[in-house]
Amino acid sequence: MDFDLPKDDDPRRLDVRAWFERHPNPTGRELFAAGYVVPHWPRPWGLDADTELQLIIDDEIKRAGLPAPSSVNPVAINNCAQSLLTHGTPEQQARFLPPALSYEEGWCMLFSEPSGGSDLGGLRTSAQREGDHYVVRGQKIWTSNAHTSKIGVLVARTDPTASKHAGLSQFLIDMDAPGVTVRPIQDMTGAAHEYNEVFLDDVRVPADRLLGKEGEGWRLSNLQLQTERAALSKPGAVWGQGPSARDLVKALIQTGHIDDPGVRDEAAQLYIEGELLRLLAYRALTDRMNATPSGPEAAVRKMLAAPHGQRLLDLAKRVQGQGGLVEGEEIFPLPNESRHLFDNWDYAFWFSPAVTLGVGTQEILKNVLGERLLGLPRDVDPTAKGPWIDTQRPELKPAN
C-alpha cells in the first residue's frame, strides 16, 4: 500500500511535459501516435502504462489546457473501442481503431430504444442476415452525439427465436449509411444538443461489421458499460467531469457562504465523500494494473459518484438563492481551468438529473450490486426465459 502520487519532478512527468511543450497544439493523430490517448492499452495503441504514468499523462493533458481524451470521443475511448482488442478481427482493429483514437471518427452508442433502456435485453431493433449483409430495422433513442458521429455501436436482435439476452449481436455501423436518420431531441437544459433519435430503415450493414460472434451482443454491451474508464483527475460532479467537491469548498470559501453552519457541514460531508471517491478511483486503476478485471465493482463507484455529484451541484445552486434561477447568470465562481460545458456550475446543475439515468440508472446499479456482489436473489423477469418472440405476443406471454 502506497498512496504517494507521482511528484512534480518525476522524470516520466518531465518527459511527458516536454512532449507537450514541443506540441503545444497537438492534433488527435499526434496524441494517438504518442500513446497519450489510451496510455493504459497495450502497444501499438497505447503505452502499456502503469497507474502512475497514466496519472501523469492525465495531469499533463490537463496542464496543457487540452480536454481529456475520454471527453473528446467518449463512446470509443471509455466504452466500446476496447472490445475490438478482445473481440475484433485484425481487419476491424486496423479499420476502426486509428481514426477513433485520433479523434477523426466520433462514435455513438445505439443501445437504448423507445420501448426501454434499463431492460436493454428486451430491445426490438432487428438485424437479419441477407447474403453478405445484415439488414437492420428499428429505432434507437437517447443516442448522445449521433449527429456528430461517424460510427455507431449498434446492439440488435439477430435471433428472435433465442431468449432475449441470447439473441443479441453487436455491429459497427456507418452513421452516414443510407437508411440512417438522426433527429435531435431537446434535453431539459435547453443549452446543448445532447442526444437524438436514430431511425434505422433497412440499413444494409456488411457482415464483416459484426463484432465478435452472433449472440455475443448482450455480453459485449455489459462489458462496455462497465469498462468506462476510471475518471482519474478528479471526481467531477457530472460523470467524472465538471466541478468537484474540492472546487465547491474553494468556491464556498471565496464567496463566504462557508460561514453558514449548515452549508459548512454539508460542504464538509461532500468534501470527505469526494476525497474517498478519488481514492476508490485510484484503487480501481491499481486493480486494473494488477489485472483484476473491471467487474460489478465499477457499479459501486458509479452508484456513489452520481448522487454525490448531484448533491454537490445542488448545494452550489442553493447557496445562490433566487439569483441562481436566472438563465445566463453565472454568479458562482467557475473552476480555474474551465474548458468543458460541464465546468459551468449552472449548466452542470441543470444537467445533473441525467447522471443517475445514463450509463445505468441508479436503481439498475443497485440491482447489479445487490445481486452480483452481495449474492441476493435476482429480480423476477418473466420475459427472460423462452424465445424472445413469444414474449412479444401478449396472448403467448409466459404466465410468470
105 is catalytic: no
| Beta carbon of residue 241, minimum distance to other proteins (angstroms, whole number) | 21
Nearer to ligand FAD, 84 or 364 (CB): 364
What residue number has its CB nearest to ligand FAD?
117
Q: Name residues contacting ligand FAD, limited to 179-238 (CB under 6 A).
A: 194-195
Q: Which does 285 bind (CB under 5 to 8 A by kind): other proteins, ligand FAD, none?
A: other proteins
359 near other proteins (CB under 8 A): no
- Crossing angle of helices 51-63/11-22, nearest 10°? 40
- The window from 13-21, 95-103, 116-124, 304-312 that contacts ligand FAD (CB under 6 A) reads 116-124
Q: Kindly report the CA angle at 107 between 356 and 122, in degrees rounded to 5?
A: 55
Whether the CB-CB separation of 244 and 277 falls below 8 Å is answered with: no
Q: In the structure grid, which three cell numbers stand for residue 125, read together?
A: 431493433
Q: Kindly report the CA angle at 204 between 203 and 208, in degrees rounded to 5?
A: 130
Q: Name residues contacting ligand FAD, limited to 129-188 (CB under 6 A).
A: 142-144
383 near ligand FAD (CB under 6 A): no
Q: Residue 95: helix, strand or coil by DSSP? A: helix
Q: Which helix (H) or strand (E) holds 173?
A: strand 168-174
1 near other proteins (CB under 8 A): yes
Conformational region of residue 98, where left means phi above 0, alpha means psi within -120 to 50, and beta covers everything else: alpha
R_g (Cα) of the chain, nearest Å: 22
| Annotated catalytic residue within 60, 194, 216, 228 | 228
Burial of residue 269 (number of CB atoms within 10 Å: 0-12, 13-18, 19+): middle
CA-nearest of 114, 137, 274 to 205 is: 137
Q: Name residues contacting other proteins, limited to 198-257 (CB under 8 A).
A: 249-250, 253
Whether the CB-CB separation of 386 and 398 falls below 8 Å is answered with: yes
112 near ligand FAD (CB under 6 A): yes
126 near other proteins (CB under 8 A): no
Residues that bind other proteins (CB under 8 A): 1-6, 51-52, 55, 249-250, 253, 258, 261, 264-265, 267-269, 271-273, 275-277, 279-280, 282-283, 285-287, 290, 300, 303-304, 363, 365-367, 369-371, 373-380
Catalytic residues: 228
Q: Which residues bind ligand FAD (CB under 6 A)?
A: 108-109, 111-112, 116-118, 142-144, 194-195, 354, 357-358, 361, 363-364, 367, 379
